[in-house]
Structure 1
């Protein structure tokens, strides 16, 4: 179905319909710049030759992305997720270097500092399959090495296998501490950046092989349409740097027309929060997967980008109930990032940079490494490295009926984003004409971000009327309750919660109401047992 047909079917107002179609034609005609795309010939895939499932997964990925057959490398590796640094050097680094030498993929020479370093390299991405060890265990410092006791990083020897492998071509580096990532905050593709000594690593790994295969398939399919849906951002008010990353993402989404629900209360989103049409999630800071993701009905939209900031989010990838990375992937996310040991906030992925680079059309692996300040440290990138979720942010991808309202919001933001009054007017007319809860809610969220709580409340009530699903209606009530809660109107918020509880009854998502009620009116402590 063409964009024109979809817009007509959506019943857009004639004036808006005409302007949006002209706008799309201009935008698509102008092209969409996303840098030089990675070639399958620039990718190698490493799997555990001792595990048949690891090899099978490598073959699935090979076929999905047309990776050359001789770019699959099977190594005799441990079945354990944790290995020693010596084992890492013996079973991963040494055979990989030999393979690169034998196949003439690189040239290495000694630099002025005495390090042997790649100066030419045909390979830019190394993909690790499920079955490849995840973490390098702590080891004693080399004899004679002294570390400042006040330096929490300099004496650390534990790290992510993936982060170490990004620089496996450099011979002579110290074991301890972290190393600066020369690609950090770049806006160039990895090919244009010309960093032959750095190979971007990503891992296709999760709690099960079937989840890994689904991650690959979802990325390939979602890339055809572009990633459309609603974003959810959970700001925990822990440390300014992390909170500022999330605020920047919310602001950017507002500018480009991605409807974004932002929770700014200190507590994380409550149990079973109704997170429908979730294509993007950024949050922090619980130890284990919680809130909306404990709802057995919850599932992300195909191709979703979902990340929770926590020091040990990827400490393990086999139990989806522990930590975060495995849990988000098990609940339908296509990609995420995580940390295997304590990284310290400033040395983990910078979410605002990551999101910005994704929106620019970069591949998943490039965006993640553009957002990572260091290598030889704790970060891992999970999911198809070649996936470009926002390749079709101009709307030129395959059109799905379920995405029509999100495309409308994107086009409206591009057309009237610099004129808030006209933007609100046009969206308001479209929401009424289309009877669209999605557009009404988006307008309410936009007004809420502008500090216009009273006007926002009108549109949340309007959205509640237009949405069909009870979960979506409940979310509008939660928006309204949040307005009163933020304003300090505790009694009003409590009354609204109780009325909503009566209205929604036992549906799983109504547990979110109980979670907020417990915060506003904590239950009395249990009576002490008589002695």
Structure 2
């Protein structure tokens, strides 16, 4: 199957200077960042700076929130209950009235607006925001397809068939344009910009992203944004298991092999840059003591080929998990593909299946994000291996906000430092 990513395309409204910068600066900057600037101290993200968001219509959601608070010694006063439908997808209006506004009120009323640095959504909190315009277009496409199918059964309907085909072509083009600039987003990515006014039809540049910020700056409220991570899974006990495995790995250390699955791309296109970032991660991983297995062709790791797995980053199998791995406690695994976090309840997407297979953290999109939206593998690992908690490693290596990417795992997870303990 070919790549679903649209190479070279970015969502309408995305700042072009940011894309140009990412193409040139990421490659150069990642290799020259001073390691001392990436060394994280005991001043890393603290439990008191974490706010947990749960859905009070779900007993398991509330239970997961309190379990996490207890395990990480997060104050009970930092648990923010919202009331919304226990579903994975909501519309924009429900997001605004049932999720965003209640969280903003909670943070303001509790005096946490400028004290909290990270929000954690848990099992039972909606995962993604649907695009009502896109849904309307897709409904019209289905109607037109049905009409075309009926017309093609009869003779002497050539003119009507031609008109239906023309209308279908127009609608499909409209759908593609709406997918590129639409309001569809991950709930968590929108929550990064609480209290802010911004254009819903475009992404926002992440000001903490190293290639934009030009330095590895510790996360703060300087840019009025929040980190957001998610404790979610197909079943609630699996969501709580993400916490258990993170704490266990911090105590015993993260051990095993690192598996990198690049595709052998070269050049200056976005695919090539993403591929190069995977290969560049090898040096840091080996320096940290991880034996690295690099696959640098379009071949995927085969089922059962990757035992003793501690870390994985690779691509590309769209929506079809390949059971290549046996994961160790604390494993972090990321598969770069177009909709691997569309659902954590059903299907064979990588985020769902990775959690079922025992990873401690993963990253994925709720719908087509474009390859530029993923964190850069080398930057993420460079930060994580030098003691950044999971959330900071993600948000300093991830370029966009108000978009479609989701971080799954305990944001305090810090197996290479003291930040999460």
TM-score (norm 1): 0.60
1:342 to 355, 364, 368: 368
| 1:66 and 2:103 aligned | no
SS at match of 1:301: strand
- Deviation, structure 1 residue 152: 7.7
1:316-365 per-position Cα deviation (integer Å, ceiling 9, x unaligned): 1113x511011111111000000001111112222221111101210001
Rg: which structure is higher?
1
Relative to structure 1, the CA distance from residue 341 to residue 78 in structure 2 (aligned partners, 3 Å threshold; closer, same or farther) is same
Report if aligned partners of 2:207, 2:223 keep a CA contact under 8 Å in 1.
no
Range 254-263 or range 215-224, more displaced: 254-263
Corresponding residue number in structure 1 for 2:115: 122
1:184 and 2:190 are equivalent in the alignment:
no
Question: Which residue, 316, 328, 342 being the options, matches 1:315?
Answer: 342
Deviation at 1:389, TM superposition (A): 2.4
Give the Cα–Cα distance (whole angstroms) in 2 for the partners of residues 249 and 105 of structure 1. 37
Q: Does 1:287 align with 2:318?
A: yes
Q: CA deviation at 1:225?
A: 2.8
Cα distance in 2 for partners of 1:158, 1:390 equals 35
2:129 to 130, 133, 136: 136
Task: Call closer, same or farther: CA 1:256–1:99 in 2, change over 3 Å.
Answer: closer
Instruction: Give the match for residue 26 of structure 1.
Output: none
Note if contact 1:347-1:373 (Cα within 8 Å) is conserved in structure 2: yes
Distance 2:222 2:362 in 1: 24
CA contact 2:64–2:236 (8 Å) conserved in 1: yes
Residue 362 of structure 1 is matched in structure 2 by 388
Give the structure 1 partner of residue 241 of structure 2. 214
Distance 1:167 1:268 in 2: 37
Task: Please state how far the C-alpha of 1:289 moved relative to its aligned partner.
Answer: 4.1
Alignment of 1:65-214 (within 5 A): 65-106=72-113, 121-140=114-133, 155-170=181-196, 172-185=197-210, 186-191=215-220, 194-195=221-222, 197-214=224-241
Give the drift of 1:95.
Answer: 1.0
Residues 362-395 of structure 1: per-residue CA shift (max 9 Å, x gap): 0001111111111000100000000012228xxx
Q: Residues of 2 paired with 1:126 and 1:290: CA distance?
A: 29
Of the two structures, which has the highest relative contact order with CA contacts closer than 8 Å and spacing of 6 or more? 2
Distance 2:310 2:62 in 1: 30
**Cα distance change, pair 196–373 in 1 and its aligned pair in 2 (3 A):** closer
The alpha carbon displacement at 1:40 in A equals: 1.1
Q: Distance in 2 between matches of 1:217 and 1:224?
A: 11
Alpha-carbon separation, structure 2, partners of 1:211 and 1:306: 16
Q: Aligned to 1:173, what secondary structure does the other structure show?
A: coil
Aligned-partner Cα distance in 2 for 1:137–1:207: 20
Q: Give 1:265 shift.
A: 2.5
Deviations 1:238-273 (A, max 9, x none): 621221111011132233331001112212112322
Q: How does 1:20-31 map to 2 (within 5 A)?
A: none
When structure 1 is superposed on structure 2, of 328-337 and 233-242 the one drifting more is 233-242
Contact between 1:226 and 1:391, CA under 8 Å: does it hold in 2? Answer: no
Query: Are residues 1:248 and 2:280 paired?
Result: yes
Give the gaps of 5 or more residues in structure 2.
1-37, 135-173, 266-270
Tell me the secondary structure at the aligned position of residue 128 of structure 1: strand
Aligned equivalent of 2:31? none
SS in 2 for 1:277: strand
Secondary structure of residue in 2 paired with 1:332:
coil
Kindly state the Cα deviation for residue 299 of structure 1 after the two structures are TM-superposed.
3.3
* 8 A Cα contact 1:154 1:178, kept in partner: no
Alpha-carbon deviation of 1:197? 1.2
In structure 2, distance between residues paired with 1:53 and 1:279: 29
Q: Of residues 254, 257, 276 in structure 1, which corresponds to 2:307?
A: 276
Decide whether the 8 Å contact of 1:153 with 1:178 is kept in 2.
no
Of 390, 407, 412, which aligns to 1:381? 407
Aligned to 1:39: 46
Contact 1:189 1:362 in 2 (8 A): no
CA–CA separation in structure 2 for the residues paired with 1:237 and 1:55: 46
| Alignment of structure 1 residues 506-525 onto 2, 5 Å | none
SS of the aligned residue for 1:302 comes to strand
| Residues 154, 306 of structure 1: alpha-carbon distance in 2 compared, 3 angstrom cutoff | closer
Which SS does the other structure have where 1:88 is aligned?
Answer: helix
Aligned residues: 333
| Cα deviation 1:477-514 (Å, max 9, x = unaligned) | xxxxxxxxxxxxxxxxxxxxxxxxxxxxxxxxxxxxxx
- The whole-number CA distance in structure 2 between the counterparts of 1:240 and 1:213 is 37
Per the TM alignment, residue 70 of structure 1 is displaced from its structure 2 partner at its CA by 0.8
Deviation at 1:210? 1.7
Q: Distance in 1 between matches of 2:199 and 2:255?
A: 44
Offset at residue 139 of structure 1 (A)? 3.3
TM-score normalised by length of structure 2: 0.75
Q: Distance in 1 between matches of 2:180 and 2:307?
A: 44
- Counterparts in 2 of 1:409-424, with a 5 A limit? none
**1:420 alignment counterpart:** none
Unpaired segments ≥5 residues, structure 1: 1-31, 107-120, 142-148, 393-531
Q: Whole-Å Cα distance in 2 between the matches of residues 34 and 187 of structure 1?
A: 10
